[in-house]
Amino acid sequence: MAKEEILKRIAKLVAEGDEEEAVQAVKEGFAAGLDPLVILNEGAAKGMDIVSEQYSAGEAYLPELVLSGDTMSAVIEVIFANMSKEQAAASKQGVIVIGQAKGDVHDIGKNVVAALLSVNGFEVHDLGIDVTVKSFYDKAQEVGADIVAISTLLTTSLPYLEDTARYLTDTNTRNKYQLIVGGGPVTPEFAKKIGADGWARNAFDCVELCRKLVAKGNPGAGSTMIVDSEAV
Q: What are the residues binding ligand B12 (CB under 6 A)?
A: 45, 48, 52, 55-56, 62, 65-66, 69, 103-110, 112-113, 149-151, 153-155, 180-185, 200, 202-203, 206
Q: Return the number of the residue (32 or 176) whose C-beta is nearest ligand B12.
A: 176
In the complex, the smallest distance separating the C-beta of residue 89 from ligand B12, rounded to whole angstroms, is 26
Task: Tell me the three-class secondary structure of 154-173, residue by residue.
Answer: CHHHHHHHHHHHHHHHHCCC
Q: Which is nearer to ligand B12, 103 or 121 (CB)?
A: 103
CA dist 53 and 29 (Å) reads 25
Q: Rank residues 1 and 228 by Cβ distance to ligand B12 and give the closer one.
A: 228
C-alpha to C-alpha distance for 232 and 229, rounded to whole angstroms: 8
The three-class DSSP label of residue 34 is coil
Separation between Cα atoms, residue 80 and residue 94, nearest integer Å: 19
Q: How far is the CB of 20 from ligand B12 (least distance, A)?
A: 18
C-alpha span between 72 and 59 (Å, rounded)? 19
Name the CA dihedral angle for 69, 71, 76, 81, rounded to a multiple of 10 degrees. 150
E strand or H helix at 113:
helix 108-119
Identity of the residue, 107 or 163, whose beta carbon is nearer to ligand B12 in the bound complex = 107
Give min distance, CB of 165 to ligand B12, in A: 13
Select 1 or 189, whichever has its Cβ closest to ligand B12.
189
Reported as type and span, the H/E element at residue 180 is strand 178-182
* Distance in Å, CB of 131 to ligand B12, minimum: 12
Q: Which is nearer to ligand B12, 104 or 163 (CB)?
A: 104
Report, in Å, the least distance between residue 201 CB and ligand B12: 7
Task: Tell me the closest approach of the beta carbon of residue 218 to ligand B12, in angstroms.
Answer: 19
Q: ∠ CA 132-138-142 to the nearest 5 degrees?
A: 150
| 86: helix, strand or coil | helix
